[in-house]
Chains A and B, each alone.
Chain A
Amino acid sequence: MKKATFRGGIHLDGHKELTSGLETVVAHIPDRVYIPLSQHIGAPCVPLVVVGDQVKKGQKIGASKGFVSAPIHASVSGTVVAIELMEHPGGSFVPCIIIENDRKEEWAESVIPHRDPASLTPDELRAIILEAGIVGKGGATFPSHVKYAPVEGKIVDTVILNGVECEPYLTTDHRLMLERSDKIVAGLGYIMRAVGCERGIIAVEENKMDAVAVMEKAAAEAKNITIVVLKEKYPQGSEKQLIYACTGREVPVGGLPLAVGVIVNNVGTASALARAVELGIPFIGRNVTVSGPGIRNPANYRVRIGTLFSELIKQSGGYVGEVEKIIAGGPMMGKTVFTDNLPVVKGTSGIIIFTKEENRHSKEFACVRCAKCIDVCPAYLEPTSLVRLAKRKAWEDAERMDAMSCIECSSCVYVCPAQIPLIQHIRRAKQAILAAKARPQG
Chain B
Amino acid sequence: MLVAVVTLACLGAIFGIVLGFAAKRFAVEVDPRVEELIRVMPGANCGACGMPGCAAFAEAITMGTVKPSACSPGGASLYEKIAAIMGTEVSAYEERQVAQLLCQGDNVHTKMLYRYEGLSDCHVALANFKGPKACKFGCVMQGSCSRVCQFGAIQMGVNGLPVVDYYRCTACNKCVVECPLQLYKLVGVSRLVHVRCVNTEKGKDAKANCATACIKCKICEKNCPEDAVHVVATGDGTVALIDYEKCTNCGICAVKCPTKSIDKIMPLSEEVILEVGETPVPGCTRCGVCPPL
Contact = CB atoms under 8 A, between A and B. Distances in A.
Count class of interface residues, chain B: 10 to 19
Contact of A427 (B114, B127, B130): B127
Given A338-B113, A338-B114, A361-B117, A87 B129 contact: yes
B200 to A, nearest CB: 15
B177 to A, nearest CB: 11
Contacts of B13: none
A87 B291 CA distance: 38
Contact of B291 (A392, A427, A432): A392
B119 interface: yes
B124 A432 contact: no
Listed residue (A92, A338, A361) with the most chain B CB atoms within 10 angstroms of its CB: A338
A92 B131 CA distance: 10
A256 B143 CA distance: 37
Interface string A417-442: 00001001101100110000000000
A392 B129 CA distance: 26
Contact of B124 (A338, A361, A427): A427
Contact of B129 (A338, A425, A427, A428): A338
B119 A428 contact: yes
Interface residues of A, number: 18
B123 interface: yes
Given A338-B113, A392-B291, A91 B118 contact: no
A380 interface: no
Interface string A328-365: 00000001111100000000000000000000010000
Contacts of B65: none
A428 B123 contact: yes
Contacts of A425: 119
Interface in B101-135: 113-114, 117-119, 121, 123-124, 127-130, 132
B174 to A, nearest CB: 11
Contacts of A421: 118-119
Nearest to B112: A338
A93 interface: yes
Contact of B121 (A335, A392, A428): A428
B251 to A, nearest CB: 37
Contact of B130 (A93, A392, A428): A93
B119 A424 contact: yes
A335 B129 CA distance: 10
A91 B119 contact: no
Contacts of B113: 338-339
A131 to B, nearest CB: 32
Interface in A181-196: none
Contacts of B129: 87, 91-93, 337-338
Contacts of A92: 129-130
30 contacts: A87-B129, A91-B127, A91-B128, A91-B129, A92-B129, A93-B129, A335-B128, A336-B128, A338-B114, A338-B129, A339-B113, A339-B114, A361-B117, A392-B291, A421-B118, A421-B119, A424-B118, A424-B119, A424-B121, A424-B124, A425-B119, A427-B124, A427-B127, A428-B119, A428-B121, A428-B123, A428-B124, A431-B123, A431-B127, A432-B123
**3 closest pairs, A vs B, by CB?**
A338-B114, A424-B119, A91-B128
Interface of A: 87, 91-93, 335-339, 361, 392, 421, 424-425, 427-428, 431-432
Given A92-B129, A338-B114, A392-B291, 17 more contacts: A87-B129, A91-B127, A93-B129, A93-B130, A335-B128, A337-B129, A338-B113, A338-B129, A339-B114, A361-B117, A425-B119, A427-B124, A427-B127, A428-B121, A428-B123, A428-B124, A431-B123
